Structures are given as structure tokens and as C-alpha cells.
Amino acid sequence: MPDRVPPQYVVATVEAMILEIAAELHPQHLTATGLAAKVIAHPADAREVETAEQAVRNLGEFGLFRERDDEALELTKAALHAVALLT
């Protein structure tokens, strides 16, 4: 039986967690670092930190976040709608 990858290292899982957190915090906005920090349980774990940072970058690349002038990330209307449909 192959080893299972812990969820904190699965980018898609972490993306879902970050999207849900961002929607719960809406209309409050956090920076990319602030959002990643919300899902990082072990800041000394470089792999966990990189996975969270990659997840935030991916969500922006997929058009679910837009960066404001103050570096805070704002959920797009599409992201908010998708979260509403899935919850």
C-alpha cells in the first residue's frame, strides 16, 4: 500500500481550506502571507509553508483572488459565488 500524503502537503486540499477561510473572513482581506498563515500549523515545516504559499498563488492564478493596492487579497465575485454554491 503506497504511503499517503498528509493533507497539509496536498496543494488542492490546502487551496480549498484557504478559499473557505477567505470566504468566512469576507469582507475582511488578508495578504497572501496572512492567508497562508491561517492554515500553517507548523511554521518550521518548510514543506507545509511552501504548500500553503503555492496554494495561495494558485488561487490567484485561477482568478479567485485579486491583489489590491495595499497587497491584500480580495476574493473575486466568481470565488464568492463558487464557495456559496459548495457550502
- The secondary structure element, H or E, covering residue 30 is strand 30-31
Compute mean pLDDT per 10 residues along the chain, 87 residues long, and list them. Answer: 85 96 95 95 97 96 93 95 92
Q: For residue 44, give its domain range.
A: 7-86
Alpha-carbon distance 27 to 61, whole Å?
21
1 within domain boundaries = no
User: Rounded to two decimals, what is the model's pTM?
Assistant: 0.90
30 within domain boundaries = yes
2 within domain boundaries = no
74 within domain boundaries = yes
CATH of the domain at 41: 1.10.10.10
Q: Determine the distance from the C-alpha atom of residue 26 to the mean position of all C-alpha atoms in its chain, rounded to a whole number.
A: 13
Domain count, the chain: 1
13 within domain boundaries = yes
Burial class (CB in 10 A: 0-12, 13-18, 19+), 41: exposed
